[in-house]
Amino acid sequence: MFFVRLFLVLIVFTSKCLAVEIDNSFEYMIINSTSDRELTNRNSFETGLNLSSITRFSDDFIAVAKVYYKTDIIYDTSERWDYKLNKVNQTTFREVYLSYSTDNYNLKFGRQIIAWGRADSYNPTDVITPKDYTYLDDKLPGLKLGADALKLQYYFENDNSIYFIAALKEKNNFLPGRDTSTPIITKGDQNFEFGIKLDHIGSSFDGALSFYKGYDLNSKFVVDNNKVILQRPFYTMYGADFVFPIDDFGVRGEIAYINYENNESNLTSPFDNFSSSLGMEFTVFNDSMLSFQWLHKSNINFTSLNDSGALTELELLNRVFYDQLDKNYDRISMNFRISWLYSTIELDLGAIKSFNNDSYGFHGNFNYDFEKNWNIAFALDYFDGKSGSYFNYFNENNLFLILLRYKI
């Protein structure tokens, strides 16, 4: 947090001393939801403020700051509403970084969103930037959080580039429903995280090979000195991704192998795994897009529940969150987006089905820009499945929300 504050002070000071150009945007939101996403069957009334500032010192040198501040009032319709006892204020610095570019390279330093892979939904190679899964809609705030990192991208041979990344991820993925009072402790001597990606962008084929060594964005429950803590495992990821057109279709895919280091021989440790995704998208008619994605995950050296004996509650939760109740997982997802009146009205429908445990999920979103700066949205998330499955666990997180947004 000290780094973030110092960075903001430097931006303000230098912008007053130099002839610079500053672009600011302001977004105010009111969200009323039928779930607070904490598995408590309570409602949520959230007001949020999205601020974005881009300071251009020159064509090559810029500073970016994006912050989201929210006030969340949790209430239960079955009891008397006492907002003073259920009020939460939170400030999230999503991105705060400096960027310097030349003809051959781009250097970014600070908290930034780094997205690897080319899939829009499930992406096993996207291991650097943590996510907040409170809301599943990409139009709502906070889906991706920044990671403190140094990123150097060097361009060579026209369509090719290579990325070098050194990161220190202070945050992990936020999965609603996990005990937020449980401290997250990162153990181990490997505090330095780094990655390399070789990327190609061409007219008929885009592809990349990636390598990353760092802490998992998810954490596991462990018992340490008779206390329950959340511990982030350290792993190595080897990945590849691609996208290419076939007539009117676009084909996307990713593969990733994850190897956990110091993987203890106990039931709380995640298994090494191989994940892959293959998707196809195409235009149905004007201003509409339909996409499908097949997901596969194979847990290596898997031990079944029958062979493991009786699992503790923490061991079972770890298996649920890491998708390791079964050796293999197969899922298929579908998404359909359509817009009318020059994108004034947008409808987004999505669904996912898991074939291993009869789990499924559904998401719908309707957006309407009824004035120049005003937008209203309605969204629905619904999950269900076999008892003990990932989607069944989040069944109490099903929600319907209404969002009113003003942006300048």
Q: Domain of 126: which CATH number?
A: 2.40.160.10
Q: What number is the average pLDDT over the span 51-69? A: 91
Confidence (pLDDT) at 107:
97
Q: Which residues contact 359 (CB under 8 A, 6 or more apart)?
A: 353, 383, 384, 385, 386, 389, 390, 391, 392
Q: What is the mean pLDDT of the chain?
A: 82
Ranges 3-17, 227-241, 251-265: which has the least confidence: 3-17
**CA nearest neighbour of 203 among 247, 159, 163, 241:** 159
* Residue 254 near residue 271 (C-beta atoms within 8 A): no
∠ CA(142), CA(234), CA(305), 5° rounding?
95
How crowded is the C-beta side of 334, counted as CA atoms within 13 Å?
A: 7
- Give the amino acid at 30: I
pLDDT band at 34 (very low <50, low <70, confident <90, very high): confident
Q: What percent of the chain has pLDDT over 90?
A: 35
Tokens read off for 140: 């709502």
**CA nearest neighbour of 206 among 292, 278, 118:** 118
| Segment 174-212, tens digit of pLDDT | 776 655 566 666 665 566 799 999 999 988 899 999 999
Ranges 62-76, 249-263, 379-393: which has the least confidence: 379-393
- Give the amino acid at 323: D
* Residue 166 near residue 193 (C-beta atoms within 8 A): yes
Q: Which residues contact 50 (CB under 8 A, 6 or more apart)?
A: 25, 26, 27, 28, 29, 66, 67, 68, 141
Q: pLDDT higher for 314 or 406?
A: 406
| Segment 104-122, tens digit of pLDDT | 999 999 999 998 888 766 7
Output the CA–CA distances (angstroms, integers) from residue 286 to 276, 290, 350, 366, in the order listed: 31, 12, 19, 18
User: In a 10 Å sphere around its CB, with 0-12 CB exposed, 13-18 middle and 19+ buried, how is residue 395 labelled?
Assistant: middle
Rounded Cα–Cα distance for residues 388 and 390 (Å) = 7
Q: Which range of residues forms the domain containing residue 278?
A: 2-407
pTM of the model as a whole: 0.85
Confidence (pLDDT) at 376:
94
358 phi, psi to nearest 5 deg? 55, 40
**pLDDT at residue 382 greater than cutoff 60:** yes
**pLDDT at residue 221 greater than cutoff 50:** yes
Confidence (pLDDT) at 86:
64
Q: Which residues contact 288 (CB under 8 A, 6 or more apart)?
A: 336, 337, 338, 339
Confidence (pLDDT) at 252:
94
CA 151 to chain CA mean position, Å: 19
Q: pLDDT higher for 266 or 338?
A: 338
**pLDDT at residue 318 greater than cutoff 90:** no
Domains identified in the chain, total number: 1
Confidence (pLDDT) at 84:
44
| Segment 125-143, tens digit of pLDDT | 999 888 877 766 656 655 7
